[in-house]
Structure 1
């Protein structure tokens, strides 16, 4: 029968049946005596979302998921439970009941189920495999005759659960209906992780299967599977992806968490660990608060404060913060701490503009084009337009839509009081010359006497480039600027890498052919430099006087 929502806005899900099945059949691992395995509320939230049903198609909405939490949160037993329920439980949509709720059936009624626990090493597979074997020592043995947990695999009444690593030669032929991909922040090209991921993803697609990754915070620039999954999710949020079949659940400590201050660090740990945090006041996620969890926060604080602990690794491991590559220009916490999405730049406000452009494909990569604004009064940076190559087949033959870019510049001058406009003319020399002719007389601050807009980010201006780059970097680190939290702008900022020249530090892509764009970061540097020059020439005082303020 067709699906009938039980209440307005309700989303159908098999998650409730999955949660009940786990509690009824599985044993909690690492216990002296039998206890049922009961999910934390935030784990239940993940299950309810991951097993959502698309009411239009009757199929599961998500084919892949990511659950990213700090070390010790409990990812391994949680995903072991999902692996077992996928092997035996009602996870395949099978229509609707009389109340309009979805009904599930086991994979064994569709095909012989194969479930895999995958990692790039045998040591990593044991993270999930060890609790999985313990969880099978419970009621599930009586409920499913023929279930046989063995040391290296599990025989199902029909099918098998097995651990697998990137060295396995049979991955391509063995199509798993479900897989756990453990610690994908360490799945990189060098250890075969990328190849393993592609094969397992393709296998799942061929039979309508699914998989869940369980990474800790990845390090940008390492090219890991976890990083690529995060990039895919960003593309979904930005509307650049053609497919949205990924459920992404990442939580980290606030960027302003001070690891040297116990109170601030404890607040950050409580948020990162959620229901698992063993704080006397319970969790910070729910009202009323959940009881204290299993993670001793005092031990974590002591570990983080140990002189031998690397601060960046501690942020990644325990605060679950995506920090930065060793040569990153900015860290994620530094940039995130300046976000203020509540600020709105109104029409008529005094701003500066920065522009960095590209036109055609270069070495197989089409760089982006970015027009960035910066409010004079408070240094609030916001994107006016960022044009970048779409993903997938739409990228073939793509070029920057020049007409759209020109219209965006014209609109910016119509909407705002633009007092300075700095543009890198590379590949846009003709248009920059037109902007100088059209808007040069309106600008109160000029890049140069003869060229009011042209501001080269290459060539013989190394000293000025280094100074401008350092000026914005210092403003971000010292939180003297804000930005609107744009996902695209954030991605470009965190893609930027430090490069040392004879005159100082500049920024660049990780390598010339990298698809990770930084053009919006360059345009932001130009917009910020234009603001600095405008303030030095008294434009801020003039703007405030015109608005009826005293300086």
Structure 2
């Protein structure tokens, strides 16, 4: 165990954690008194349970830290401060060999718990290269039930519970099912607690279950006929360029750029974004491109001039590419409702891109006089939705092109259809 200590952190650490950490055999063999707050070994090591005083713990040199139930660690109960203190203490440990481990149920997206932050940090690393988290010393393991669209499907629910419980075979599947069907918990809480699924709250636009059910192993191929959607930021907001294949609504981000760790000093790498646009036109058969003009007016005008001849549908009456999302609320609302319905009915496919998934999960419903549009949780929120906005514009471009009838009319000796 080393010469220092191992800490167990959590709201119930002092009284409820230790009895569950040691088997009866270990308690008898080592003479452990699980009722104590600090347990000492014969060679001077110790295990200590602590609760929520981040300042009191600062500077501690524990060799192993167990963070319990981090889905409940939020800013208002001191969870963020505690996590920062633990991370700082680990970084200052002698020899650099200290470790931490989080034990958590699936966090509630949008609550900004420590568990949710950890998941997003891992997802960003994994998105760049699946081996990056491992090389960085970050390990993530989650046993989740597969997507279940309807909890009333008892066979699917039973299979999901068995999958999620893993080797915890003592859990009573019939009892869990009866609890779910009793209506004690909202559906999203049942999914989170019993199926270990990352689920959204009732204000979310698209449920994780519906989105995850649309994932496919397919990716875009060179020459595919696509539409593009673009939503740009400058510093605080993310910037996203998303493609949608015309034939089957397969969604694949070309690029999503956002500030690392919400750094206030970061700016969108405009050159990279511009290069990505040109690369998309070189790689694929782009027949529609709708780009929000805000903060990118000059670039959007340049794209419109350069690619006007290749595009079969105009984004607005004023521009082939430029589409101001601050206007045309009725069209955007109808497009949003159409896209959400398509996701829920499995008519959209996506490649499982982690950042796009996070942006989709961050999107909230916004009611207006025309129906249901989308928004982020509040104006200053750091939870970005720009990837969803870009996807919506790509889908709107596809829809308008299909409705225009131009795909059926010959052009330059060719017949324009949905095929590759």
- For residues 549 and 270 of structure 1, the distance between their equivalents in structure 2, rounded to whole angstroms, comes to 42
- 1:493 and 2:360 matched: yes
In structure 2, the CA distance between the partners of 1:391 and 1:151, relative to structure 1 (3 Å rule), is closer
Q: How does 1:217-256 map to 2 (within 5 A)?
A: 217-239=106-128, 244-256=136-148
Structure 1 residue 151 displacement after superposition: 3.1
Residue 227 of structure 2 is aligned with which of 338, 352, 367? 352
- Which residue is equivalent to 2:191? 315
* Alignment RMSD: 2.5
- Which residue is equivalent to 1:154? 39
- Which residue is equivalent to 2:9? 118
* TM-score, length-scaled by structure 2: 0.89
- For residues 397 and 203 of structure 2, the distance between their equivalents in structure 1, rounded to whole angstroms, comes to 26
- 1:132 and 2:21 matched: yes
- 1:409 and 2:277 matched: yes
Residue 336 of structure 1 is aligned with which of 208, 212, 222? 212
Q: Deviations over 1:79-116 (max 9, x none)?
A: xxxxxxxx4xxxxxxxxxxxxxxxxxxx1xxx2x2122
Q: Is the 8 A contact 1:148 1:155 kept in 2?
A: no
Structure 1 residue 210 displacement after superposition: 1.4
Which consecutive unaligned segments of at least 5 residues does structure 2 have?
none
In structure 2, the CA distance between the partners of 1:376 and 1:169, relative to structure 1 (3 Å rule), is closer
Q: Is the 8 A contact 1:380 1:482 kept in 2?
A: yes
Residue 291 of structure 2 is aligned with which of 410, 423, 441? 423
Structure 1 residue 150 displacement after superposition: 4.6
- Which residue is equivalent to 2:76? 190
Structure 1 residue 486 displacement after superposition: 1.0
- 1:456 and 2:346 matched: no
- 1:439 and 2:320 matched: no
- For residues 503 and 126 of structure 1, the distance between their equivalents in structure 2, rounded to whole angstroms, comes to 54
- For residues 401 and 515 of structure 1, the distance between their equivalents in structure 2, rounded to whole angstroms, comes to 19
Q: Is the 8 A contact 2:109 2:116 kept in 1?
A: yes
Residue 305 of structure 1 is aligned with which of 151, 171, 181? 181
In structure 2, the CA distance between the partners of 1:482 and 1:515, relative to structure 1 (3 Å rule), is same
Q: Is the 8 A contact 1:125 1:182 kept in 2?
A: no
Residue 327 of structure 1 is aligned with which of 198, 203, 214? 203
Which consecutive unaligned segments of at least 5 residues does structure 1 have?
1-86, 88-106, 142-146, 277-292
- Which residue is equivalent to 1:526? 393
SS of aligned partner of 1:217: coil
In structure 2, the CA distance between the partners of 1:338 and 1:510, relative to structure 1 (3 Å rule), is same
Q: Is the 8 A contact 1:183 1:214 kept in 2?
A: yes
Structure 1 residue 307 displacement after superposition: 3.0
Q: Deviations over 1:40-87 (max 9, x none)?
A: xxxxxxxxxxxxxxxxxxxxxxxxxxxxxxxxxxxxxxxxxxxxxxx4
Q: Is the 8 A contact 1:377 1:540 kept in 2?
A: no
Residue 245 of structure 2 is aligned with which of 371, 375, 379? 375
Structure 1 residue 295 displacement after superposition: 1.9
Tell me which of the two structures has the higher relative contact order, counting C-alpha pairs closer than 8 angstroms and 6 or more residues apart. Answer: 2
Structure 1 residue 149 displacement after superposition: 5.0
State the aligned residue count. 408
Structure 1 residue 456 displacement after superposition: 1.2
- For residues 404 and 180 of structure 1, the distance between their equivalents in structure 2, rounded to whole angstroms, comes to 41
In structure 2, the CA distance between the partners of 1:450 and 1:254, relative to structure 1 (3 Å rule), is same
* TM-score, length-scaled by structure 1: 0.69
Q: Deviations over 1:478-508 (max 9, x none)?
A: 1111011111211211122223334333222
- 1:171 and 2:57 matched: yes
In structure 2, the CA distance between the partners of 1:416 and 1:152, relative to structure 1 (3 Å rule), is closer
- For residues 213 and 509 of structure 1, the distance between their equivalents in structure 2, rounded to whole angstroms, comes to 28
- Which residue is equivalent to 2:104? 215
SS of aligned partner of 2:48: strand
Q: Is the 8 A contact 1:257 1:264 kept in 2?
A: no
- For residues 35 and 170 of structure 2, the distance between their equivalents in structure 1, rounded to whole angstroms, comes to 28
Structure 1 residue 529 displacement after superposition: 0.6
Q: Is the 8 A contact 2:27 2:33 kept in 1?
A: no
